[in-house]
Amino acid sequence: MAVLSASPLQLVQSIPPVTRAFTLATVVTSLLYYWLWWTGDENFTAPYLVLVPGQSIFYPWTFVTSALVETGVIELLFTLLTIPASLRYLERLWGAAETLKFIVVTIGVSNIIAFGLNWIEYFVLRSPLFLYGQWYHGQMALQIGVLVAFTQLIPEHQVQLFGVLKARVKTLPMAYVTLSTVMCILGFQCPWIVIQFGWLVSWVWLRFYKKNSDAMGGSPTYGDRSETFALVAWFPPFVHKPITFLGNTVHGLATRFHLIPLGNADIEAGGYSQVPGGTRAEAERRRAMALKALDQRMAGGQTAPATRQASGSISGGSRPAAASNDDVAQQPAGAEAIDSTIKAEEQ
């Protein structure tokens, strides 16, 4: 009985702090919204909880906290099935600070873009629907952001959807973006449009701004400049040229105005140098670790022949010399293997 009673508490304690707090806030805020809706009248509004473009300027916190409100029970259940487990995985890799920044940036910037788009639509079409009839809420932006992060970390991992469909992680973000596009064409702009904004915002953050942990104690690096995570990698080959041109132009302007952290000056496109930016730093760290491992192996190899040589000299046999020759022959082979591993990582 003691074990059973302690299990839920141990489960909660095993969840990293940011994931635990964010999940709890989502449940509490959504339940608060349900209670207010149940006790309110037919003209119920909650601009202090959800993002209403015509009123949110007076409730600026809703640009972030509106994600904590899932207005439907099915939406809430889907969020609780996907987001906590995903954030738990990311927080254990990135740490609490970087995970929290990722959440705030992905949700906040996506909602700001949606807010601006609705005001533009209002000025063009003169319809108050875009200011007061569309409420942005929920965690669709964060859901696509998590998929982008998984594409960066485990792109080839295969997942099974609904027990039937199998797909690689790297194919899921654009599938979700495609669904968003279809829903927007059908007239459901709110809140589906934030999926597209969340995809772009999360990619930009992970590509240029996320601070990477530095195990060797050197200066920190930012973003992921690998070719496999380039902007063109998200699109089919026939649109690579215009996407590359657009990416180069935007990246050049951002660099000129110092909007990108130092050390990320290479051009944003597909097919730059073999070891760009953060990848070069990662390759140097791996090289240093490999050389250290090689030194330890050689030091261990020198100790073992000395011991065998001492025992062999007592017996007067010729085996120590043969053993030493074998060990010496094995050391270059180990160095060769490590060097080939380093080259493979750099490529």
Amino acid 162: pLDDT:
66
Q: State whether 185 and 40 are in the same domain.
A: yes
Q: Quote the CA–CA distance of 256 and 250 in Å, as a whole number.
A: 10
Q: Which residues pair with 136 in a beta bridge?
A: 51
First-to-last C-alpha distance (Å) of the chain: 55
Structure tokens, 184? 């927007």
- The answer to the question of residue 81 being in a domain is yes
The reply to whether 110 falls in a domain is: yes
Same domain, 207 and 297: no
Same domain, 37 and 147: yes
In a domain, 306, yes or no: yes
pLDDT at 292: 64
> How many angstroms separate the CA atoms of 255 and 135, rounded?
35
Among the candidates 173, 189, 212, a domain finishes at 212
Q: Is residue 80 part of a domain?
A: yes
Q: Please check whether residues 189 and 315 belong to one and the same domain.
A: no
Statement to judge: residues 24 and 154 lie in one domain: yes
**Domain of 162, in residue numbers:** 12-212
Task: Provide the domain count of the chain.
Answer: 2
Is 73 inside a domain boundary?
yes
**How many angstroms separate the CA atoms of 89 and 86, rounded?**
5
221 in any annotated domain: no
CATH number for the domain including 119?
Answer: 1.20.1540.10
Angle of CA points 118, 79, 111, to nearest 5°: 20
Residues 162 and 292 both lie in one domain: no
Residues 315 and 183 in one domain: no
| pLDDT of 204 | 95
Last residue of a domain, one of 195, 212, 229: 212
As a whole number of angstroms, the distance between CA 55 and CA 129 comes to 13
pLDDT for 321: 44
**Whether 206 and 286 share a structural domain:** no
Within this chain, do residues 45 and 163 fall inside the same structural domain, yes or no? Answer: yes
Q: Which of 153, 178, 212 is the last residue of a domain?
A: 212
286 and 199 in a common domain: no
**CA gap 173, 144 in Å, rounded:** 6
Query: What was the pLDDT predicted at 281?
Result: 46
pLDDT of residue 14: 83
Flag residues of the chain having pLDDT under 50.
1-5, 264-281, 307, 310-335, 338, 342, 345-347
**Is residue 32 domain-resident?**
yes
41 sits in the region (left: phi over 0; alpha: psi -120 to 50; else beta) called beta
User: Considering the domain boundaries, does residue 318 fall inside one?
Assistant: yes
Same-domain pairing of 203 and 332 = no
DSSP-assigned beta bridge partners for residue 51: 136
